[in-house]
């Protein structure tokens, strides 16, 4: 796709976000270098609003996923790692490691054979005890995980991605989660294993923010994913914007090329209002902007 088409798509996206007083609006304008004079004040206001919605324990309604997302939003809005609200949220997440109900809890002959038990996976975050189902579980990108076990896996990876971004990459428990996730045989190449590729992208998105030592594994997983990217840019059996969200958080020479393959699909999805789905969802539009900006680097 030529540079002119990308510029037009980004211009329409800029119009979509031009007057939105939301975290996605602030971040999108920052990416597009179209900041408004009042965006710094708006960001401070949005940070205060998030802080007001937190419980005394630092959580958002006692939810692992909602807390991880709120912490992510704070970082998007400019909160440093030592920001009091962010410290409390991350502390809540870390306190849920290896808690009752985490994905790797317990062992059976089948789970052991699949390396899905605590003998192989450690440091996973618990989204709650198993007496209460968490599936179907929806995430900001729009993906919904219907299977209970996969939802617990996704929730833990989602929380791991947040604590790694917050700089907690030296904690023993976090490193155990990263290492066991990276080393697990069931994480890689879901298309050849008949597994859910959405779970693969949750793991990939977390590991991509891990320490330098696992970069070779991240590169391997990226290679596996790109090998299954279809001609029009998507992946079989995968929620498009979820995959893009996880992919856009990593680096590597292959990523802009993958983004370039996706650009025509995204441009075709873009509506007259500048959004990229029928619901005019801000988060998906922000994800699309990141991918189009990556793709622009490969276009004339």
Helix H, strand E, coil C: the string for the chain is: CCHHHHHHHHHHHHHHHCCCCCHHHHHHHHHCCCCCCCHHHHHHHHHHHHHHCCCCCCCECCEHHHHHHHHHHHHHCCCCCCCHHHHHHHHHHHHCECCCCCCCCCCCHHHHHCCCCCCCCCCCECCCCCCCCCCCEECCCCCEECCHHHHHHHHHHHHHHHHHHCCCCCCHHHHHHHHHHHHCCCCCCHHHHCCCHHHHHHHHHHHCCCCHHHHHHHHHHHHHHHHCCCCCCCCCCCCHHHHHHHHCCCCCCHHHHHHHHHHHHHHHHCCCCCCCCCCCCHHHHHHHHHHHHHHHCCCC
pTM for the full predicted model? 0.96
- The pLDDT averaged over each successive group of 10 residues in the chain (300 residues) is 86 98 98 97 98 97 98 97 96 98 94 89 97 97 97 98 96 97 89 94 96 93 94 94 92 86 95 97 98 79
pLDDT on residue 253? 79
All residues at 6 or more sequence positions from 196 whose CB lies less than 8 Å from its CB, including other chains: 145, 147, 150, 190, 237
Instruction: Give the model's pLDDT for residue 105.
Output: 94
Tens-digit pLDDT profile for residues 11-42: 999 999 999 999 999 999 999 999 999 999 99
* pLDDT for 300: 39
Q: How many CB atoms lie within 10 A of CB 258?
A: 22
């Amino acid at each position: 796709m030529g540079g002119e088409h990308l510029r037009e798509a980004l211009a329409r996206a800029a119009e979509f976000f031009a007057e939105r007083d939301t975290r996605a609006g602030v971040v999108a304008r920052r990416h597009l270098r179209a900041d408004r004079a009042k965006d710094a004040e708006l960001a401070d206001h949005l940070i205060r609003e998030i802080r007001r919605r937190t419980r005394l324990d630092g959580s958002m309604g006692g939810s692992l996923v909602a807390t991880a997302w709120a912490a992510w939003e704070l970082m998007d809005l400019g909160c440093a790692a030592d920001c009091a609200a962010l410290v409390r949220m991350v502390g809540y997440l870390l306190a849920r490691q290896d808690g009752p109900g985490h994905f790797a809890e317990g062992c059976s002959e089948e789970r052991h054979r699949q390396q899905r038990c605590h003998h192989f996976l450690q440091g996973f975050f618990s989204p709650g005890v198993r007496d209460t189902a968490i599936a179907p579980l929806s995430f900001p990108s729009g993906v919904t995980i219907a299977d209970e076990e996969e939802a617990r896996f996704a929730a833990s990876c989602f929380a791991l991605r947040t604590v790694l971004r917050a700089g907690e990459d030296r904690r023993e428990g976090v490193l155990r989660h990263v290492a066991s996730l990276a080393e697990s045989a069931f994480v890689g190449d879901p298309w050849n294993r008949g597994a859910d590729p959405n779970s693969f992208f949750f793991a990939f998105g977390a590991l991509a923010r891990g320490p330098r030592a696992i970069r070779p594994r991240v590169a391997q997983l990226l290679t596996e994913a790109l090998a299954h990217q279809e001609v029009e840019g998507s992946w079989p059996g995968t929620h498009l914007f979820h995959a893009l969200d996880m992919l856009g958080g990593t680096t590597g020479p292959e990523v802009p090329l993958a983004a370039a393959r996706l650009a025509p699909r995204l441009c075709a999805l873009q509506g007259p209002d500048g959004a990229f789905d029928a619901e005019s969802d801000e988060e998906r539009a922000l994800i699309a902007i990141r991918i189009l900006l990556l793709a622009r680097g490969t276009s004339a």
